[in-house]
Structure 1
Amino acid sequence: MSAATPYTVDPARLSAGRWCQEADKTLGEGDIHASYSADRIGMGKPVRRPFIWKNAPHVCVSMRHCGDTVCAEAYRLVHASQFGAAPTSYGQKLTDPDAARADPQGFYHGMTVRCGSNTFILCGPPVLFAPGKTKQLSLF
């Protein structure tokens, strides 16, 4: 995971939610958690619905424990015309995984992914998100 200082976000955005048998879906899942796509990237499938951070779409590639809390690592999605370098694929990154993991821009930087019918590039460095404190509103 990135050594960068995490941005704090509403903890609800990182929530895994809970499965509801009656509704046949996960309820209460946060948008950052729901965008987790590392499994899909590795299989060459389209990424899950991105979340917006600082007016840009991002997808989560890792959910990990950071001390006593859960943090998420995400990459920004950019159009190929905005990337400015030669894109790569997950398979190409795996030809030298040690070099890919040592990339200061992150392992997923430069990878081509599909989102719906569009093609994007994952752009690093990764952004780290941690739950922030929520304010309890006083009723009295």
Structure 2
Amino acid sequence: MGNTTSRSNSQTDPEKTSLLSKEENGITYRIPALIYINDTQTFLAFAEKRTSPSDTDATLLVMRRGTRQNGLIQWSDVQELDTACLPGHRTMNPCPVYDKKFKALFLFFICVEVSLAAFLTDLLTTWNKEKWETHQEATHQKLLCSVKRKTV
């Protein structure tokens, strides 16, 4: 009844895959972010790596890359993004953004100090590269740009 799209019986949902599971040593992965890059038919999954489920135990960000092979998605091993950090801070809340025009992937995240002050930070990669460029602390740059625009 009504306007609905039917599914062919030959189409099946892909098998569900747990990308980042709690490890026996207590390591957990929280706050996942997933992005699909259509140009290369690649999935990138990001998450916080934590020593426990607590927010205060976030250590760094991790990533897994998924590519289509023979109709299935093959996932890489977990890669720790050790350049996505500031000394004395917890790295949290990954947010990937892809710029299709420039084929650049930005990974925004926050770095939280023990005193709970947060800074917006980002990494940049040109999509075909495996290596992330050095991070930038972006909070003050963005805030200053906003203030200058409003005062002009």
TM-score normalised to structure 1 length: 0.29
Whichever structure has more strand as a proportion of its residues is 2
Please give the TM-score of this superposition, normalised by the length of structure 2: 0.27
Greater relative contact order structure (CA < 8 Å, 6+ sep): 1
Give 1 or 2: higher helix fraction: 1
